[in-house]
Amino acid sequence: MALQERALRTRANLIRAAAQVFDRVGYQRATLMTISEQAEVTKGGLSFHFTTKSELAQAVQIEACAISAAVLEDLADRPGPALDIVVDMAHALAGLLHNDVVVRAGARLAQEVETPEDPALHSQLYWLSTLHRTLCRASGDGSLADGTDVRSAAALVMSVTMGAEMLARMPYQHAFGQPQPEEGQQESPQQWLSRVWRVLRPVLAGAPTGPGGHRPAATPNGHARSPMNRATVHAVAASAGVPAVSAIPAQGVR
């Protein structure tokens, strides 16, 4: 039993070390030697668990999806307007991308290596599918504006979420004519998203928005909502500086 537990710990350590290397240098430049050194495990110890770099990459992708699923499925089960749950999912994903190297590496690997269209492997496909499913609920419970193109809305939310994490890691203030903040004073992805959602949520809900992008408590359930079509989605995405929704894979999304 002790040997089995040690083997599991070593495997988990190797997966995290591989994620750190993939996140830092990418799949092509990563080597098994670099990963074994990062994990402080011998090359023989690594090969006992993983014989190829592609096996390690797949293990990182599986773990990234499992971490994402644990967070998103918990949010999906919560009561309340489904659009508010989508907002919470976006904040959670931005936090995972910013703080969890395995999730971040899994997202990078999905772009750098050929990945099956399997939500258990392709983290971005899983995120998009989950956002789409929750936005379908929002369409059903009335928290999403009538006539909204749900697929486009899901792609937009994912684009904004990934863009917020990217902006939090770059000196974006110069683009706005502002001085770069001191170390430790930069905005977090969640702070970025809170500001973006104050712009985005009224478009999605056809209703006023409260702090953090959530529905204000005083907003009546019967509030009139305006539809959001593909043209509106693309216009909002362009004004926010996020990737075009057509750049987000739509496999597995109805």
Are 97 and 21 in a shared domain? no
> What's the whole-model pTM score?
0.77
Is 60 a domain residue?
yes
- Strand, helix or coil for residue 192: helix
Residue 253 domain-assigned (yes or no): no
Same-domain check for residues 238 and 195: yes
How far, CA to CA in Å, does 224 sit from each of 144, 147, 220, 243?
A: 11, 12, 9, 30
What is the number of structural domains in the chain?
2
Q: Are residues 33 and 106 in the same domain?
A: no
> Nearest-CA neighbor of 251 among 110, 135, 148?
110
Assigned domain for 207 exists:
yes
pLDDT at 94: 92
Q: Produce one character per residue of 85-104: b if its CB has 16 or more CB atoms within 10 Å, e if not.
A: bbbbbbbbbbbbbbebbbbb
- Lookup: tokens for 224: 């009139």
pLDDT-derived band at 211 (thresholds 50, 70, 90) equals: low
Same domain, 27 and 138: no
47 and 60: one domain? no
Q: Do residue 16 and residue 86 come from a single domain?
A: no
- Compute the average pLDDT of residues 196-215: 74
Q: Which domain holds residue 18?
A: 1-51
Same domain (yes/no): 240, 138: yes
Residue 252 lies in a domain: no
Q: Do 108 and 35 belong together in one domain?
A: no
**CATH assignment of the domain containing 39:** 1.10.10.60
> Is the pLDDT higher at 234 or at 39?
39
pLDDT at 63: 98
Q: Is residue 12 located within the same domain as residue 106?
A: no
| Residue 135: inside a domain | yes
Tell which of 14, 36, 51 closes a domain: 51
Kindly state whether residues 100 and 182 are assigned to the same domain.
Answer: yes
CATH classification at residue 66: 1.10.357
Give the phi and the psi of residue 71 in degrees, each rounded to 5: -80, -50
**C-alpha closest to that of 122 among 101, 138, 103:** 103
In a domain, 254, yes or no: no
Question: Are 19 and 105 in the same domain?
Answer: no
* Interval 208-230 mean pLDDT: 47
Question: CA–CA separation, 187 vs 174, rounded Å?
Answer: 14
Q: What is the pLDDT of residues 149-199, one digit of tens each?
A: 999 999 999 999 988 888 777 766 667 777 766 666 677 777 878 888 999
Residues 137 and 203 in one domain: yes
pLDDT, greater one: 104 or 231:
104
Look at residue 101 and tell me if it is in a domain: yes
Examine residue 234 and state whether it is found in any structural domain, yes or no: yes
